[in-house]
């Protein structure tokens, strides 16, 4: 049995964020749970009055992020797990995307995560320990047509988190990128799309048809995997959630390697140096 942990969670009001918040509370951990609509957490707050601190937060408000992280630290005395879960999808073909909406999507998914991480790091460094979990997606590894700015934002999370892991390891801070496949959550409710251009409808329909409802995982089953990671002495940099995703990743990386190898002579020639 692991010792009790203190969590700071963004986007805790629904979806996987709520699942993980509830599961952490049920196993005896304490949680500072943030949401744009804190009222959505009233039920959990009544069930766990001493272990749950509910804080209103829009992660695009950088000052509010620092205030919330500081308040959580003062309330509980430490932070063990910082879970950057807040985010939403903005989906559309690249030609369709509205510039300001892409900027807003990145403000939440990428810059919101950055603000939370930067607010937490001085606390975790002073402690000499802590675990940062950033939430990516299958869309952070595999870019798909009409994935729009969502996949770009998740690719950015992957790169930022990988850099972060190398920077903070010496301070005793762990970083894990959570990479969920498709789960039966309310994620679709948070998906936005620009006005459609008809020329892309066949591609859009093909992508939608490739996502089979029966392949969606059970959100409740993900909590045990998250706990395995946060309780591990040597947690993974990347943690895939879902039984179908590893096969998809093998195929994608095999295709990438094949592409690089096919063009290797051209790549080598681009070095511009002659070798004996």
pLDDT of 149-182, one tens digit each?
A: 999 999 999 999 999 999 999 999 999 999 998 8
- Catalytic residue chosen out of the listed positions 90, 154, 161, 174: 154
Classify residue 194: in a domain, yes or no: yes
Classify residue 114: in a domain, yes or no: yes
DSSP 120-134: HHHHHHHHT-EEEEE
H runs (alpha helix) in the chain:
15-26, 42-47, 62-76, 99-106, 112-127, 148-168, 201-210, 222-231, 245-262, 264-269
Closest C-alpha among 111, 154, 116 to residue 135:
154
The question of whether 154 is a catalytic residue gets the answer yes
Classify residue 33: in a domain, yes or no: yes
Classify residue 269: in a domain, yes or no: no
Classify residue 276: in a domain, yes or no: no
The tally of domains found in the chain comes to 1
pTM (2 d.p.): 0.93
The residue behind tokens 């005793």 is: 172
The residue behind tokens 């409710």 is: 189
Classify residue 18: in a domain, yes or no: yes
Number of neighbours of residue 58 by Cβ within 10 angstroms: 16
Task: Quote the tokens at residue 201.
Answer: 């409808």
Beta bridge partners of 55: 34
- Catalytic residue chosen out of the listed positions 115, 136, 137, 153: 136
Classify residue 117: in a domain, yes or no: yes
- Catalytic residue chosen out of the listed positions 150, 153, 161, 174: 150
Q: Is 192 helix (H, G, I), strand (E, B) or coil?
A: strand
**What residue numbers bound the domain in which 21 lies?**
6-247
Classify residue 191: in a domain, yes or no: yes
Spell out, as residue ranges, where the chain has pLDDT lower than 70. 1-2, 186-189, 213-214, 274-276
């Amino acid at each position: 049995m692991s010792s009790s942990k203190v969590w700071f969670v963004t986007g805790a009001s629904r979806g996987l964020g709520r699942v993980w918040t509830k599961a952490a509370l049920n196993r005896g951990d304490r949680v500072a749970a943030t949401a744009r609509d804190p009222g959505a957490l009233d039920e959990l707050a009544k069930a766990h009055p001493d272990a749950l601190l509910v804080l209103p937060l829009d992660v695009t408000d950088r000052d509010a992020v620092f205030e919330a992280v500081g308040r959580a630290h003062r309330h509980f005395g430490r932070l063990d797990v910082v879970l950057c879960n807040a985010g939403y999808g903005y989906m559309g073909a690249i030609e369709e995307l509205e510039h300001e909406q892409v900027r807003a999507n990145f403000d939440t998914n990428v810059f919101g995560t950055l603000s939370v991480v930067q607010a937490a790091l001085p606390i975790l460094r002073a402690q000499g320990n802590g675990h940062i979990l950033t939430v990516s997606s299958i869309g952070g590894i595999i870019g798909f047509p009409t994935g729009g700015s969502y996949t770009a934002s998740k690719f950015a999370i992957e790169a930022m988190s990988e850099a972060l892991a190398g920077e903070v390891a010496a301070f005793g801070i762990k970083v894990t990128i959570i990479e969920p496949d498709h789960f039966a959550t309310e994620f679709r409710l948070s998906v936005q799309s620009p006005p459609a251009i008809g020329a892309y409808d066949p591609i859009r329909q093909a992508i939608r048809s490739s996502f089979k409802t029966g392949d969606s995982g059970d959100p409740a089953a993900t909590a045990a995997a998250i706990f395995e990671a946060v309780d591990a002495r040597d947690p993974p940099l990347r943690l895939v959630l879902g039984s179908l995703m590893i096969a998809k990743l093998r195929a994608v990386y095999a295709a990438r390697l094949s592409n690089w190898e096919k063009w290797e002579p051209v790549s080598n020639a681009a070095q511009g140096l002659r070798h004996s």
